[in-house]
């Protein structure tokens, strides 16, 4: 991942509404969720949320597909992985001991539950 892409991705996540949006989309998994549902769930006007969706999409962190009248957004997991990889490279590249064990410990602490439906 290039420096500029990383900046854009970080800027995408560096705003409360968008970070909430991103978390919700992560929870939704590859099934994704419609723009309108997302706006209602987050309590944000449709057009406002639309601009946030565009920002995340421009950053490459999410993608969209049309389904009838709705547009379904979902996380581009490869881009998320690339961002994490960029941070890990920069953060731990010369000092692996600092980040080793971080992801593993998280993985073990989660009992591999299936994709639970989001509420609210």
Partner DNA sequence: CCATTATTTCCATTATTCTGGAATTATGGA
Partner DNA sequence: TCCATAATTCCAGAATAATGGAAATAATGG
* Contact between residue 72 and residue 32 where contact means Cβ atoms under 8 Å apart: yes
Q: Shortest Cβ distance from residue 12 to DNA (Å)?
A: 9
Q: Shortest Cβ distance from residue 42 to DNA (Å)?
A: 10
Sheet containing strand 62-67, strands side by side: 33-34, 70-75, 62-67
> Angle at Cα 102 formed by Cα 101 and Cα 107, nearest 5°?
95
Q: How far is CA 32 from CA 28, 29, 80, 119, in A?
A: 5, 6, 15, 14
Q: Nearer Cβ to DNA, position 30 or 113?
A: 30
Total residues contacting DNA by CB under 7 A comes to 28
Q: What part of residues 95-114 is at the interface with a second copy (CB under 8 A)? A: 95-96, 98-104, 106-107, 110, 112-113
Q: What part of residues 24-53 is at the interface with DNA (CB under 7 A)? A: 34-37, 39, 44-53
Cα–Cα distance for residue pair 37/23, rounded to 1 Å: 14
**Binding residues vs a second copy (CB under 8 A):** 3-4, 6-7, 10-11, 13-16, 19-20, 22-23, 26-27, 29, 77, 80-81, 83-85, 87-96, 98-104, 106-107, 110, 112-113, 115-116
């Amino acid at each position: 991942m290039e420096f500029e892409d990383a900046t854009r991705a970080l800027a995408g996540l560096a705003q409360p509404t968008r970070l909430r949006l991103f978390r919700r989309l992560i929870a939704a998994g590859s099934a994704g969720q419609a723009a309108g549902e997302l706006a209602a769930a987050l309590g944000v006007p449709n057009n406002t949320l639309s601009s946030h969706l565009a920002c995340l999409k421009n950053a490459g962190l999410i993608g969209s597909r049309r389904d009838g009248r709705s547009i379904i957004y979902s996380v581009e997991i490869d881009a998320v992985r690339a961002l994490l990889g960029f941070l890990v490279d920069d953060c731990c590249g010369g000092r692996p001991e600092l980040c080793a064990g971080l992801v593993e410990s998280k993985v073990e602490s989660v009992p591999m539950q299936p994709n639970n439906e989001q509420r609210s």
